[in-house]
Amino acid sequence: MSAPPAPLTLLLADERATARLAGALAPAVGPGFVLFLSGDLGAGKTAFTRAMLRALGHEGRVRSPTFTLAEPYNLSSFDLYHFDFYRFSDENEWREAGFDELIGGQVAAVVEWPELAGAGLPEPDLWLHLHAGPDEASRRVLLRAHTARGEACLSALADTVRQDRLAGVSCSAPSAPPSSA
Ligand SMILES: Nc1ncnc2c1ncn2[C@@H]1O[C@H](COP(=O)(O)OP(=O)(O)O)[C@@H](O)[C@H]1O
Ligand SMILES: [Mg+2]
């Protein structure tokens, strides 16, 4: 058995690059796919999800689920739920809201702030952590696979980026702590 792929760190030059990354990952999303998105407020989790939904053929609006907690999307061949757990203060709230019947089931799930749901969430296929980049419009993103499905998707993405096929998306060394020199 081969070793799971190491986490991938990418530099996204601007919001269009973030959208291209979302578009490159979109074909891997299907029934049962679970994607976690972490990062501070304003990191780009909703912007990423909006671009992914567009790439999956959704033409209408994409609202942030910050207040509604979940927004459903009826895509052409499967349903996708976009969750945002930012307002959760208790680990069981997502279960009480009935989301446990959705996440890890037949729908695809994109979850912002998964860390606020505690330990009960199923393993995601992919977990993205968005961070500030070297300038205002750029972002650094760490992508980690947690299942075989996620691993396949991450290896394919790494090849695409190495071949320079996603403009504005480049491999990046994980951000080092600032040097004291
Ligand atoms: N490279 C980038 N990727 C994503 N968003 C970006 C980028 N550069 C600037 N932005 C802006 O940052 C903001 C991200 O907001 P949002 O996606 O709502 O963040 P979050 O959901 O993580 O709180 C948007 O205003 C977006 O236009
Ligand atoms: Mg958001």
Q: Hey, what domains does the chain have and what are their CATH numbers?
A: 9-171 (3.40.50.300)
Residue 65 alpha carbon to ligand 1 centre in Å? 15
**pLDDT band per the 50, 70, 90 thresholds, residue 181:** very low
Question: Which class for 62: exposed (0-12), middle (13-18), buried (19 or more C-beta within 10 A)?
Answer: middle
Ligand 1 geometric centre to CA of 3 (Å)? 33
Other Cβ atoms within 10 Å of 35 Cβ, number: 26
- With tokens 């089931």, the residue in question is 105
- List beta partners, residue 171: 10
Please state whether the predicted TM-score (pTM) of the whole model is above 0.85. yes
Write phi, then psi, for 23 (nearest 5 degrees).
-65, -35
- Residue nearest (by alpha carbon) to ligand 1 atom 8: 137
pLDDT in tens, 108-131: 999 999 999 887 899 999 999 999
Q: What is the DSSP letter of 24?
A: H
Residue 102 C-alpha to ligand 1 middle, in angstroms?
26
- Considering only CA atoms, which of 1, 3, 4 is closest in space to residue 150? 4
The gap between the terminal CA atoms of the chain, to the nearest Å, is: 43
Ligand 1 atom closest to residue 37's alpha carbon, by position in its atom list? 22
**pLDDT, greater one: 6 or 128:** 128
Q: Residue 49 in contact with residue 37, Cβ under 8 Å?
A: yes
Mutate to test the pocket of ligand 1, among 11, 14, 15 (most ligand atoms within 8 A of CB): 15
For 56-110, write each residue's pLDDT tens digit: 999 999 999 998 999 999 999 999 999 999 998 888 888 888 998 899 889 999 9
Q: Is the pLDDT of residue 178 over 90?
A: no
